[in-house]
Amino acid sequence: MEVALECNYQVPFPASALHRSNLAKNAVDLLKFRRRKDRPITVAARLPNKDTGTHLGISSLVGMGGWLRLLGHSDDIVDGLNIIHIAGTKDKGSTCAFTRSFLRTHGARTGFPRKIGLYASPDLRHIRERIQINDRPISEEQFTQNFFEVYDRLMDPYLSKEESPAQPRYLQFLALLAFHTFIREGVDAAIFETHSGGEYDVTNVVRKPVVTGITSLGLDHVIQLGRTLDSIVWHKAGIFKKGTPAFSVPQDSIPAEVLCERAMERDTTVTFVPINESLPMNARNLSVPIQRVNCSLALELARTSIHVKTPNQTLDTSKIIRGIDDFHWMGRFEIIQDGLITWFLDAAYNTMSLTQAAKWFATNTYIADSRKFCILIFSHYSTVRDGASLIQDLTNALSKHNTIPDRIIITTDQPREDGTTRIGKLPPIPFSQLYSDHTSRWKRLSRDTDTLVLGEPTVEGAIRLAREIGCQRCGSGSGSGSGSGARVLVTGSIHLVGGGA
């Protein structure tokens, strides 16, 4: 049984009192104020048929239905968005982007879907990236207009306790803003990515999604979702709905068993989707093995969505190939060529994703049997993961592929040297301590290498240092990769990759 938390905030000033000559900034400032200092934890439920104790659930779902109704959006109106709901531990963003790309190429030919909404998180550069329509973040005008429509209605001081017993927090408000925007803008298909969980996630207010999908599963967000894999999978599978087809990438035995149990509990079925053998072998966007897995799942989600809404239509082969070619997901397996320096950006932040990033980077580091000069820019800070342990996982994976970096630059998520930032939370420990901890861990791991570990307290400084080192090596005529370019892997944090974008 879920325990609701009382969460009352004092609004610093009413929206009507704002000087609205800078609406977008005011909206973002008000949104940041909705952040909570600590994530509440409540006892939620026991895993069915499992003797594993209780789950730790987040009461984020509480209030969502009532707030949507206050905005004038009934369950039927929300259902009309034709929602594809996606949960998982990693690769949710890529799967969402592939699904969107298939729907868009199909809609361009058939007229459905005409407008495709995407709600995904987190953002790399600005908050509007979380709410997209037809491949683009909503405009500042759309963001501010819809933001204040939601804010003025839900933060109305004259609302009774019965009408609104609490005010939405940050992620709740963002999800509400996405629903409101998609409805106002006439979106006829929407893809919603969950945050960390599923069962109690804010997006799980959706009553009747068209189809649901589960990406790769593993241990993450253990404080909120439980410390065992079956507990985490139980939460992720909470998006399953009665009568709604569910699909999943291939899973190990424990996650697969829990997914099947949850599907049976929800009176539906889950289909495990193997890699689609008909996918083109030479497609640039499928060169990373995991992307073939994600693309195969996305293809089934798109096909099912199209069949449910327009049974007489099919996603033809030419549109599938076009959808793959048009796929793009910023900050995930992204390569940017900058003269003789090649930047590899991947916003991996857990062990599973970092292992994939290492393999991807290593594969692209050997050109004509010659290894390029390698630089790693790394940053990670969170209250639930140990950054030093993650760099250990990353370097172990790089070592496995014989790609130990020639230089490592430890930095933070602080983007600019002038102190400007859009990040709400920064490490409470000094950079000198962060750098010392990471350096010590690296030295214990790699006593037989000549790798130098350097430190730069900002992303801007780290990028500049990497560029200087790379350019020096390119023209030095000595060392690995001499005169032929350097490769820089930037990973470990979404804010790190976003700060350099």
The tens-digit pLDDT sequence of the chain (501 residues) is: 233 333 333 333 344 444 444 666 666 666 665 665 544 443 344 444 343 444 444 467 888 999 999 999 999 999 999 999 999 998 999 999 999 999 999 999 999 999 999 999 888 888 899 999 999 999 999 999 999 999 989 987 767 776 666 788 888 999 999 999 999 999 999 999 999 889 999 999 999 999 999 999 987 766 677 778 898 999 999 999 999 999 999 999 999 999 999 999 999 999 999 999 999 998 989 988 899 999 999 999 999 999 999 999 999 899 999 999 999 888 888 888 888 889 999 988 888 888 889 988 988 776 645 677 899 999 887 666 677 778 788 888 888 888 888 899 999 888 777 766 655 555 667 888 888 887 887 777 766 667 888 999 989 999 999 999 988 876 654 444 444 678 999 998 888 888 655
Are residues 375 and 239 part of one domain? no
Q: Give pLDDT, residue 68.
A: 96
Q: Are 199 and 189 in contact (CB under 8 A)?
A: no
SS3 142: helix
Q: Are 3 and 42 in contact (CB under 8 A)?
A: yes
Are residues 354 and 377 part of one domain? yes
> Which residue range is the domain that position 182 belongs to?
15-326
Are residues 169 and 55 part of one domain? yes
3-state secondary structure string, 231-274? HHHHHHHHHCCCCCCEEECCCCHHHHHHHHHHHHHCCCCEEECC
Q: Give pLDDT, residue 17.
A: 40
Q: Are 167 and 81 in contact (CB under 8 A)?
A: no
- Asked whether residue 10 is assigned to any structural domain, the reply reads no
CATH number at residue 442: 3.90.190.20
Q: Give pLDDT, residue 166.
A: 79
Q: Give pLDDT, residue 376.
A: 93
The residue behind tokens 């899973």 is 251
Q: Are 44 and 54 in contact (CB under 8 A)?
A: yes
Are residues 276 and 153 part of one domain? yes
User: What values do phi and psi take at 118, rounded to 5?
Assistant: -135, 125
- 92: Cα within 13 Å, side-chain hemisphere: 26
Are residues 304 and 387 part of one domain? no
Mark residue 258 as left, alpha or beta (left: phi above 0; alpha: psi -120 to 50; beta: remaining). Answer: alpha
Helix axes 170-184, 23-32, angle to 10 degrees: 140
- Tell me the CA distances in angstroms from 385 to 81, 337, 382, 429, 493, one per residue in order: 36, 31, 6, 15, 11
Are residues 350 and 207 part of one domain? no
CA 68 to chain centre: 24
- Asked whether residue 434 is assigned to any structural domain, the reply reads yes
Are residues 297 and 157 part of one domain? yes
Q: Give pLDDT, residue 9.
A: 36
Are residues 296 and 349 part of one domain? no
Under 8 Å CB-to-CB from 247, ≥6 apart: which residues? 211, 212, 213, 214, 270, 271, 272, 273, 297, 300, 301, 304
Residue of 3, 120, 106, 109 lying closest to 59 (CA atoms): 3
- Asked whether residue 168 is assigned to any structural domain, the reply reads yes
Instruction: Compute the distance between CA of residue 270 and CA of residue 455 in angstroms, rounded to an integer.
Output: 47
Domain count along the chain: 2
What pTM did the predictor assign?
Answer: 0.84
SS3 494: helix
Helix axes 140-154, 23-32, angle to 10 degrees: 50
